[in-house]
Amino acid sequence: MQKFEHLTFMNFSDCDSLTKLPDVSATPNLTRILVNNCGNLVDIHESIGDLDKLVTLSTEGCPKLKSFPRGLRSKYLEYLNLRKCSNIDSFPDVLAKVENMKNIDIGGTAIKKFPSSIENFKGLEELVLTSCSNVEDLPSNTDMFQNIEELNVEGCPQLPKLLWKSLENRTTDWIPKLSNLSLKNCNLSDEDLELILKCFLQLKWLILSDNNFLTIPVCIQDLSHLLLINIENCKHLRDISVLPPYLQYIDARKCMALTPHSSEVLLSQVRLLPPFPLLNLLFFGTARSV
């Protein structure tokens, strides 16, 4: 490969003819590599992992991608996106201390486990594990979770149980900055939901749609920072008795099992909330401003 020592950005996104990302050892100053939506990409050369100035690596939407660097060496890495790379089944080793990691998205991959070296990621703010049905365990090191603000495990019925396992014998500050949590379509039970609400009191956004719990527990009123809750299409939900004090948005569409009494309680509770001009209740398919 010709030497391009000053090249810092490489974008091959939407290149259907691309089947292999070649040796990049002659371009040591690359900081951003985007190869998104390359439907025929199969192989990414191992030298990508040796780039020690790399900040962003994104291969989203490459379903045929099988060969990915075994390790990542850049201490400047901030964004790693493997979303919808359904043939990727292993997470790369983290070969340097990465102090400012911002976002990891492995949604829709076949990854089963995380290497112990993932503890080298510090400062992680967002972790996306949507539709990761093969994940068998979560990282055991708590340091990498200290700055996470957003956790998305949508469509992963096994992950709440893994989360509970991680919470055993730990204090509630395991993810102390978590503000946005998405657990859509995770087959949550009443027990699961109560544990979530008790462990993550600092939540601002909570997505619980398409789940199977029967009751919103009373402890939800302790989530004094919660602004939004989505319980759309929770078809078995019957009882809602209280709401958090500063809630601004509720989506309860398609919650058709709510008893008439619970429906009235929901509307009554919303009317008692502080007067926010944008406070909305989406209820049984209609939007009502309160």
pTM across the whole model: 0.88
289 shares its domain with 164:
yes
Domain-located, residue 70? yes
Residue 134 lies in a domain: no
Residues 166 and 263 in one domain: yes
Q: What is the pLDDT of residue 277?
A: 45
Residues 106 and 198 in one domain: no
Note down pLDDT in tens along the chain; length 290 residues. Answer: 556 788 999 999 999 999 999 999 999 999 999 999 999 999 999 999 999 999 999 999 999 999 999 999 999 999 999 999 999 999 999 999 999 999 999 999 999 999 999 989 988 999 999 999 899 888 877 678 889 999 999 999 887 777 777 766 555 467 889 999 999 999 999 998 998 898 899 999 999 999 999 999 999 999 999 999 999 999 999 999 888 888 888 888 899 999 887 787 677 766 555 555 444 556 544 444 44
Give the pLDDT of residue 279. 47
Residue after which a domain boundary falls, among 64, 89, 114: 114
For residue 175, the enclosing domain spans: 149-290
CATH number, domain at 245? Answer: 3.80.10
Q: Which amino acid is at 40?
A: N
On whether both 21 and 82 belong to a single domain, the answer is yes
The domain total for the chain is 2
Q: Is residue 90 part of a domain?
A: yes
Alpha-carbon separation of residue 192 from 40, 158, 187, 237 (angstroms): 40, 12, 9, 14
pLDDT score recorded for residue 199 = 85
Instruction: Note whether residue 140 is domain-resident.
Output: no
Q: Are residues 90 and 208 in the same domain?
A: no
